Amino acid sequence: MLRFLGRRLVLAALTIAAMSVVIFVLLRVVPGNIVDLIFQSAGLVDPSEKQRLVHELLLDRPIAFQYAQWASAFVHGDLGKSYRYGLPAWQIIRPRIPITVELAILALTISIAVGVPTGVVGATRQNTWLDYGLRIFSLAGLSLPAFWLGMIIILVLVRTLGWIPSMLYIAPTVDLRAHLLQFAFPALSAGYRSAALINRITRSSMLEVLREDYVRTGRAKGLTSSAVVYRHALKNALLPVITVIGTEFAFLIGGLIVTETVFNLPGVARFLVEAILWRDYPVVQNLVMFIAIVVVLSNLAVDALYARLDPRVRYA
């Protein structure tokens, strides 16, 4: 197990290193001069400032040196400076992290809580009206744009309950109920897609497992239907579901970007879009790198969990 984890850890480190090169190069192929863009969007006018900016961004040095400096600063926790705010990027990002993390955890919890049971029901009642209904529900989840779903949710809430989502972030310490209410609907709209995917994978995986010999043996020896389904079949069917939950985490981040924007939540994902729109490139570069690391680490966690649950994986 330790050897397996060690191998995965090395691979994850290599992946992160390679991603950093890709991100760095991508943001250096910007058409036009990055300094001009920052210069304009930061509202600077003095030409001498431009020279200062070139020097500050190390653009007068070789590209390999620029990369080495950035990577070293990043490793030491220096996320650069936001040209929009004139502040260290970390100062702006830090208060936003708990918001995005909470939203991601809530959305993932909802998607698992909805996706797994509905997938099991769909498989055990295959080709019944309930199954057809659930399949439409899951296909719809993969088809509705998350931001539109969010808009419709807000629209319905305002029209029916007269509830207007707060324009300002409500901390849990200030008003827990209002805080949960503020997060519940964004989590629902961001989690629906993942719930749909988890539902589909659980259903197909369960259908496969329910045809196995040991399930028939279980039934033959007189186990109750729920014992066969939940204790024997589901345990084995969950392995591919865990893989999907891992990869879904990456997609969820994409969903959070639009959801935070629709629901006006000041999270990291929304800040990334703002930084792109303001062409605050140093922040964009560091935030994307940050997201890449989170995704790689979540994949690593899934690998470890997978190996823990399935011995065939760690001895392969």
Beta bridge partners of 81: 88
- The answer to whether residue 84 forms part of the interface with other proteins (CB under 8 A) is no
**Position among 58, 59, 144, 223 found at the interface with other proteins (CB under 8 A):** 144
> Using CB under 8 A, which residues numbered 16 to 55 contact other proteins?
18-19, 22-23, 26-27, 29-31
Q: Encoding tokens for residue 24?
A: 């760095």
- The answer to whether residue 154 forms part of the interface with other proteins (CB under 8 A) is yes
Residue 31: how many CA atoms within 13 Å on its side-chain side?
0
- The answer to whether residue 250 forms part of the interface with other proteins (CB under 8 A) is yes
- The answer to whether residue 68 forms part of the interface with other proteins (CB under 8 A) is no
- The answer to whether residue 81 forms part of the interface with other proteins (CB under 8 A) is no
Nearest CA to 187 out of 96, 100, 99, 106 is that of 106
What's the angle, vertex CA 202, arms to CA 225 and CA 197, rounded to 5? 150
**Position among 42, 58, 130, 151 found at the interface with other proteins (CB under 8 A):** 151
What's the angle, vertex CA 188, arms to CA 166 and CA 168, rounded to 5? 15
Closest CB to other proteins among residues 187, 288: 288
Q: For the chain, where are the alpha helices, taking DSSP H only?
A: 2-26, 34-41, 47-56, 63-75, 89-93, 97-124, 129-143, 146-161, 176-209, 213-220, 225-226, 234-262, 268-277, 281-309, 311-314
CA distance 169 to 177: 13
Size of interface with other proteins, in residues (CB under 8 A): 51
> Taking the CB of residue 229, how many other CB atoms lie within 10 A of it?
21
From 62-70, 138-146, 165-173, 211-219, span contacting other proteins (CB under 8 A): 138-146
Phi then psi dihedrals of residue 167, to 5 deg = -80, -15
> Using CB under 8 A, which residues numbered 177 to 206 contact other proteins?
200-201, 203-204
Closest CB to other proteins among residues 303, 307: 303
- The answer to whether residue 242 forms part of the interface with other proteins (CB under 8 A) is no
Beta bridge partners of 88: 81
Closest CB to other proteins among residues 16, 223: 16
Closest CB to other proteins among residues 97, 139: 139
Closest CB to other proteins among residues 29, 174: 29
Residues that bind other proteins (CB under 8 A): 14-15, 18-19, 22-23, 26-27, 29-31, 139-140, 142-148, 151-152, 154-155, 158, 200-201, 203-204, 250-251, 253-255, 257-258, 261-262, 272-273, 276-277, 279, 281, 284, 288, 291-292, 295-296, 299
